[in-house]
C-alpha cells in the first residue's frame, strides 16, 4: 500500500536496448530429403544473439508420388517436429544441446508444460492436439519457436555475444508419423526452411560495459535443463517390467522423469503418433540407486477411473518446474483418453554426495499383459551448465 503514497518517484524509461531485428539464416545446402543433415550456421561473431526468441520457419506440402498435392491426407499434431530425427545446437563448434526423436520429445514436453492459451497460440507451430491441420490447398507454413524444441532455448533467456552459432537438423527416414492418410501414398516435401534469429543492439552505455567485461577475459556460464529421451522399442508382453534406463554421474541425475506408453502407433499412416496409452498400468516407480520415487505404491486402475494420483502429478509439474500456478492443458478425461503421461518429480534429492554414479531404473506393473508392439518412452530432465569465453571463443561443459 505504501506505493500509492510515493508521488515523488521519478519516471524512468528502459533504453538499454536500441534495436532488435530478426535476421533469416538458410542452410548451406537446400536439400531436405530423407536422412539429410541440414546445417544452418551464423558465421559472423561480433553479434549479440538471443536464441531463446528465435524460431524455425518452414514451408512444405503433402504431395503424392506423382508430385501432385494430396487433398485427403492430414497433418498430425506437432507434425513439423516429427519431420526430424535429431536437432543439435552448437556454439563455437561445440555441441551444447541435443534432442533425439524430436517429435516424441517435444510432444511429451508440451503436454506437461502448456496451458490452454499457449496451446492455441502454437497452432502456428503445427501444434493442434484436438484437431487435424487440413488446409484445402495442401500447402503449409509454420513458425516453430526454438524454445519448444530445446531446453537450452527455453531456459537461457539472455543474449550470447561474440560466438559462432550453428543449428543442425536431421531429417527422418520416413514422414509417416507426421501425417494421417488411409488412401494416398504421400510424403511431405519441404520447399523452404530458415532459422530466424533476433539480433540485439544495446545502447552505448550497455555496449561499453559489455566490451569491458569481454576484455577482462572472464567466462560466462549458461545453465539450462536438458531433455534426454530414452526408448524401449518393444516391451515384453508381461505384467512386470524392469527397465534399466541408464547409468549417469551425480551431476546429471534426473530432476524430473516423464514416462509414456504407446501401442502400435509408430510409422502407421492411419494412426496418430502423438497419442499415448495407459496399458492398464497399476504402479510405477523410478529408482535412483537406493532412492525410490514416489515413495508409496500408487494402486492405479484405469478401468475403474482410479488414477487421481497420476493426474495430480501431471498437474503439479508446472508449479514445480516453472514456479507458476498450474494450468494443465488436459482435463482429467482428456488425460485418460489421449495422453496418460506419468510425471515423477525427483527434484528434491540429497545433494551432500557429489561423486559416484547413479543407476536409473524404472519398475512398472500392469493388471494385464502389455499389448504387443508397445513402446515405452522415458524423458529425463536434468541440469546442464556450459561455460564460454567470448574473448578466447572457448566452450566447455561443466555439468
CATH number of 16-222: 2.70.9.10
Region 102-120: mean pLDDT is: 95
How many percent of the chain have pLDDT more than 90? 64
**Where residue 265 falls among pLDDT bands split at 50, 70, 90?**
confident
pLDDT tens figures, 172-217: 998 888 888 766 678 888 999 999 999 999 988 888 998 899 899 8
Q: Report the pLDDT value the prediction gives residue 13, as an integer from 0 to 100.
A: 83
- The domain segmentation of the chain, as residue ranges, is 16-222, 226-385
Task: Read off the pTM.
Answer: 0.92
Q: Hey, what CATH class is 226-385 in? A: mainly beta
- Reduce the secondary structure of the chain to three states and give it as a string: CHHHHCCCCCCCCCCCEEEEEEEEECCCCCCCCCCCEEEEEECCCCCEECHHHCEEEEEEEEEECCCCECCCCEECCCCCHHHEEEEEEEECCEEEEEEECHHHHHHHHHHHHCCHHHHHHHHHHCCCCCCCECCCCCEEEEEEEHHHCCHHHHHCCCCEECCCEEEEEEECCCCCCCEECCCCCEEEEEEEEEEEEEEEEECHHHHHHHHHHHHCCCCEEEEEEEEEEEEECCCCCCCEEEEEEEEEEHHHCCCEEEEEEEECCCCCCCCCCCCCECCCEEEEEEEECCEEECCCCCCCEHHHCECHHHHHHHHHHHHHHHCCCCCCCCCHHHHHHHCCCEEEECCCCCCCCCCCEEEEEEEEEECCCCCCCEEEEEEEEEEEEEEECCCCCCEEECC
Amino acid at each position: 500500500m505504501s506505493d500509492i503514497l510515493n508521488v515523488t518517484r521519478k519516471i524512468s524509461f528502459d533504453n538499454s536496448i536500441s534495436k532488435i531485428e530478426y535476421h533469416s539464416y538458410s542452410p548451406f545446402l537446400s536439400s531436405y530429403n530423407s536422412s539429410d543433415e541440414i546445417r544452418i550456421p551464423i558465421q559472423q561473431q561480433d553479434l549479440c544473439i538471443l536464441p531463446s526468441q528465435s524460431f524455425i520457419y518452414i514451408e512444405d506440402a503433402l504431395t503424392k508420388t506423382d508430385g501432385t498435392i494430396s487433398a485427403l491426407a492430414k497433418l498430425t499434431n506437432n507434425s513439423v517436429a516429427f519431420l526430424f530425427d535429431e536437432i543439435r545446437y552448437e556454439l563455437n563448434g561445440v555441441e551444447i544441446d541435443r534432442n533425439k526423436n524430436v517429435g516424441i520429445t517435444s510432444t511429451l514436453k508440451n503436454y506437461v508444460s502448456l496451458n490452454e492459451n499457449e496451446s492455441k497460440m502454437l497452432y502456428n507451430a503445427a501444434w493442434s492436439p484436438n484437431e487435424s491441420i487440413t488446409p484445402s490447398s495442401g500447402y503449409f507454413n509454420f513458425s516453430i519457436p526454438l524454445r519448444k524444441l530445446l531446453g537450452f532455448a527455453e531456459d537461457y533467456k539472455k543474449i550470447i555475444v561474440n560466438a559462432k552459432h550453428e543449428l543442425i537438423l536431421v531429417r527422418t527416414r520416413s514422414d509417416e508419423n507426421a501425417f494421417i492418410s488411409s488412401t494416398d501414398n504421400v510424403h511431405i516435401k519441404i520447399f523452404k526452411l530458415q532459422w530466424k534469429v533476433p539480433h540485439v543492439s544495446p545502447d552505448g552505455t550497455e555496449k561499453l560495459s559489455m566490451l569491458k567485461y569481454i576484455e577482462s577475459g572472464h567466462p560466462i556460464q549458461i545453465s539450462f535443463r536438458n531433455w534426454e529421451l530414452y526408448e524401449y522399442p518393444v516391451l515384453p508382453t508381461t505384467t512386470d517390467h524392469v527397465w534399466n534406463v541408464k547409468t549417469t554421474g551425480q551431476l546429471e541425475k534426473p530432476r524430473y522423469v516423464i514416462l509414456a506408453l504407446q501401442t502400435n502407433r509408430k510409422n502407421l499412416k492411419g494412426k496418430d503418433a502423438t497419442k499415448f496409452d495407459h496399458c492398464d498400468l497399476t504402479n510405477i516407480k523410478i529408482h535412483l540407486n537406493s532412492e525410490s520415487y514416489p515413495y508409496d505404491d500408487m494402486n492405479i486402475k484405469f478401468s475403474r477411473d482410479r488414477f487421481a494420483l497420476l493426474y495430480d502429478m501431471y498437474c503439479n509439474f508446472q508449479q514445480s518446474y516453472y514456479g507458476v500456478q498450474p494450468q494443465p492443458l488436459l482435463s482429467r478425461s482428456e488425460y485418460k483418453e489421449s495422453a496418460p503421461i506419468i510425471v515423477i518429480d525427483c527434484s528434491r534429492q540429497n545433494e551432500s554426495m557429489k561423486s559416484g554414479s547413479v543407476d536409473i531404473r524404472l519398475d512398472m506393473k500392469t493388471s494385464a499383459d502389455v499389448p504387443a508392439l508397445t513402446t515405452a518412452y522415458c524423458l529425463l530432465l536434468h541440469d546442464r551448465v556450459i561455460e564460454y569465453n567470448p574473448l578466447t571463443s572457448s566452450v566447455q561443459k561443466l555439468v
